[in-house]
Amino acid sequence: MVEGFVGRQQELALLSEMMEPVRTGGRTGRPGRAVLIRGRRRVGKSRLVEEFAHRSGVPHVFFTATGMPKNEELASFAEQVAASDLPEASRFAEFATPQTWDAALTLLAGVLPTDQPSILVLDEMPYLVREDPGFEGTLQKLFDRTLSKLPVLLVLIGSDLAMMEALNTYGRPFYQRGTEMVVPPLNPAEVAEMLDAGAADAFDAYLVSGGLPLILDEWPRGAGLWDYLERAVTRPTSAMLVSGERTLAAEFPTEAQARMVLGTIGHGERTFSLIARAAGGLNSGSLKRSLDLLIDKRIVEANLPLSTKPSKETRYRVADPHLRFWLAFLGPGLPAIERGRGDQVLAAIRKSWPSWRGRAIEPVIREALHRLPGGVLPEGTDAIGGYWTRTNDPEIDLVGADRAPIAKRLTLVGSVKWLENKPFDTRDHARLIVHRSQLPGADEHTPLIAVARSGCTVKDLTALSPDDLLQAWR
């Protein structure tokens, strides 16, 4: 097994299911299968597949593209195949380095075993597709003619979410030839288990780590948020600092404007006009192109208010919790950290933490409410969002409805109070009642709920705690 590997039991089980027809020969006489795995950078996709390959006990080739020129990628591919544990791998070394992917993959097919299953992994697929526009067609041809007839599981991995989704869409060469699989970050319940943390502390750890295994691996088991951050911000090589920087470098090697817009959103600007102003007065066309790129890459989400009334009050937020934290505090603090003044960055985080966390936890809570078993929320709650106006009067944390963004029926109105030692009280309840009266589609019969870190003192009100929310992922 891969050293230090934890969790991912569901994903390992899915891969094992996909491997079964490869082992048994399938029903059609074509045992070869393909799976397209996507997920955000650094969520552990490669590590997951590496663990699966080791557990499977079958010969495998694991090739990772790096974005080098095609001739260098081909040479690296030939080296990886020759060094693999395929029974006939040594034969690959006898050939000259192939000059095309057609030749390279054809040679590989000739050394794959025919009497036992094997696994072929092509990691960072988007690099191969960008460097060689004909790569998809080459792979499709080889899969149809050869690989599908062999007992091999072809695993294609990529972090460019939009491109990986597109590979399996109508009109693309590999359409309907592979099963799609998404590897998410570790969820709050897995974070709690990994760190031996209570529910409230696990949500704090999730907000700053984003559930990225590399960060959680270096988080001492049982350590609190501030204990970990005190160490992380004094070590320029810590995964907490490096992950955000590497993500931005990989996603935006040339798009400086999109990165600037992302930084503006990460600093807290949420509306089109405020983002344009904070980004140096960008004109609307340039800003729209940058926002479209960020949304297409699944790095930024555009949200609309949820009610029975149409609205154009779009708000933007960074989708990944860790990147949101990095852009707000760590990225701007890197110069201080490199000067050995991580204490200044830690002080800035402490000062802004209550307000930053209060906003950052809201989308996580909405996701938890989506996942809660039936009976916890009112029947017919199929969408969870928030509501706001241009002036933020009112601004409502939680709105449940039958659909989004324009509902036919609202099923709940709720408030989030995520502070230490300050429970949801009668004043919060009164404010929530007033806000409900201002929400299009709600009336005095629309149920109210409170989500509070430190409990609720209001009787006869549905209240959810961090422990309740954590059950959504268990």
Domain with CATH 3.40.50.300 in the chain: 9-182
Beta strands in 237-299 (DSSP E): none
Look up residue 360 and give its two tokens.
């950052």
Q: What is the mean pLDDT of residues 50-59?
A: 95
Considering the chain, tell me which residue range(s) the CATH 3.40.1350 domain(s) occupy.
366-473
The distance from CA 179 to its chain's CA centroid, rounded to whole angstroms, is 19
1 has pLDDT over 50:
no
Whether the Cβ atoms of residue 465 and residue 454 lie closer than 8 Å to each other: no
CATH number of 188-360: 1.10.10.10
pLDDT digits 0-9 by tens, 222-255: 999 999 999 999 888 899 999 988 888 888 877 8
Residue given tokens 């949801």 in the structure block:
424
Domain 9-182 has CATH 1.10.3720.10: no
| pTM, two decimal places | 0.87
Question: What pLDDT sits at residue 2?
Answer: 43
- pLDDT at residue 163, rounded to an integer: 86
Range(s) within the chain of domains with CATH label 1.10.10.10: 188-360
pLDDT given at position 342: 92
Answer for the pair 240, 232: CB distance below 8 angstroms, yes or no.
yes
Q: What is the pLDDT of residues 323-355, one digit of tens each?
A: 999 999 999 999 999 899 999 999 999 999 999
> Distance between CA 413 and CA 400 in Å, rounded?
6
What's the chain's average pLDDT? 92
The architecture (CATH level 2) of 366-473 comes to 3-Layer(aba) Sandwich (3.40)
pLDDT of 6: 64
Percent above pLDDT 70 for the chain: 99
Task: Give residue-wise pLDDT tens across range 269-284.
Answer: 999 999 999 988 899 9
Task: Strand 152-158: give its sheet, edge to edge.
Answer: 60-64, 118-123, 152-158, 33-38, 179-182
Residue 26 has pLDDT above 80, yes or no: no
Give the C-alpha distances (Å, rounded to integers) separating 157 from 6, 38, 180: 20, 6, 10
3-state secondary structure of 119: strand
Polymer length in residues for the chain: 474
Cβ proximity of 45 and 37 under 8 Å = yes
